Amino acid sequence: MGVSRRRFLSLAAVGAGAALPGMASGTAFARTGAAPLSPHRFDPWVEIIPQHLAHNTSEVARLAGGRPILAVVKNNAYGLGLDTVGPLLDANPAIQGLAVVKGEEALALRAAGVAKPVLLMGMFDPQEGPELVRAGVQLALFTPDAGERVDALIRDLGGHGSLDVQPYLDTGMGRMGMPWQDALQWVVDLAARPHLRIRGTFTELSESRELDPEQLRRFLAFAREARARGVELGPLHAAASNGVFHFSDSHLDLVRPGIALFGAYPSEPEVEREMAELLPAVRLRARVVRVAHLQAGESVGYHRAWVADRPTWTATLPVGHVDGYRRESVNGAQVFINGRLFPVIGGVSASHSIVNLGDEPGARVGDVATLMGPHHPELEPTRMADLLEVSAYDLLMHLDPQLPRVLMEETLR
């Protein structure tokens, strides 16, 4: 795969071997953005582990019986960063293409150097339609007027060329897609348009043990009828991460996982851990900015959210919910500093969190703190989500896109 000028510049910004102090778990070898990450940075940053991403992709491919993978990288690649993760997945032979839900995400993948097929699963803006087509983005079609919309797009392109599309059916999820009951004649009409090329056809499962089999039955019945009418539907796909683990009948021609690629289990972690070992491919870090000694009766946080019952050392981290670190972290989350875990106390404010170091000052200003990642089982996104009674999707997707992303060269644990 060729590397775009933008991608080359982002890789050159840090350079090989530009490791940050305190990062004994790996070597930083690239950073997205225009400037290198300061080795003295206190503010939070996000680390991406390509080796874990590749490992998870192999595990998903194994579960899917070697079928190709259409990697879902919506919402800034589940928080890991589109221009960081996109090229890594693009270079993996198990990945057939990438899928997003916003037009600007599709264009960002192309700008990052992604060469494999990119599917836009959401609605496209007519004004950005020509740019999407020129970038070779496949468009999902799912509205009754889809034919008219693409005809107008062809006119905007001067009446020349062809569009790569994928019909998207609603078989019971009730969120997006052309209702399956109305889809047969609709797709026949689409296929008859000479400027359209159908590159695949898909549906979205509800992840209900009761409804999913019926959704699959509807989808396959539609496919049989459409093919009987002479429509070439291309590869069929339905299985997201949950389907990869729990519904092998839905694997069809390719699978369409998202969160599993990034190292979080989709729905039933205790069952899924027995089926595949997923390794978190992301780590949230910051440096300690303050160490303080509290006397019994002194407090931390707004409204005296936590009160010391004995002399206690605390450390302040410059990371808060504006960075994507959840407010619920005070309900049992821990932070890894200098080989030990320390509980989060007080309240997670917009820009700060506080941890209880205990009877001894177990940290100093400048020490690196890991708030989420593969350092320790308690910091893995799936386990943190279960502890905090939130979704692992929220832990990852809400990471501030403005935080720098750093690639880390690490061996598999």
Count of C-beta atoms within a 10 Å radius of residue 275: 15
339-358 pLDDT per residue, tens: 999 999 999 999 999 999 99
- Per-residue confidence (pLDDT) for residue 33, from 0 to 100: 55
- Per-residue confidence (pLDDT) for residue 36, from 0 to 100: 73
- Per-residue confidence (pLDDT) for residue 16, from 0 to 100: 29
- 102 annotated active-site: no
- Per-residue confidence (pLDDT) for residue 38, from 0 to 100: 85
Is residue 367 predicted with pLDDT exceeding 50?
Answer: yes
Q: What is the mean pLDDT of residues 86-90?
A: 98
Q: What is the mean pLDDT of residues 112-135?
A: 96
% of the chain beyond a pLDDT of 90? 86
- Per-residue confidence (pLDDT) for residue 160, from 0 to 100: 77
Q: Of the residues 74, 102, 116, 168, which is catalytic?
A: 74
159-173 pLDDT per residue, tens: 877 899 999 999 999
7-25 pLDDT per residue, tens: 332 333 332 233 444 444 4
pTM listed for this prediction: 0.91
- Per-residue confidence (pLDDT) for residue 220, from 0 to 100: 98
Q: Of the residues 265, 302, 325, 393, which is catalytic?
A: 302
- Per-residue confidence (pLDDT) for residue 35, from 0 to 100: 64
- Per-residue confidence (pLDDT) for residue 23, from 0 to 100: 46
- 325 annotated active-site: no
- Which domains are delineated in the chain? 1-49+280-413 (2.40.37.10), 51-274 (3.20.20.10)
Q: What is the mean pLDDT of residues 144-169?
A: 92
Is residue 275 predicted with pLDDT exceeding 60?
Answer: yes
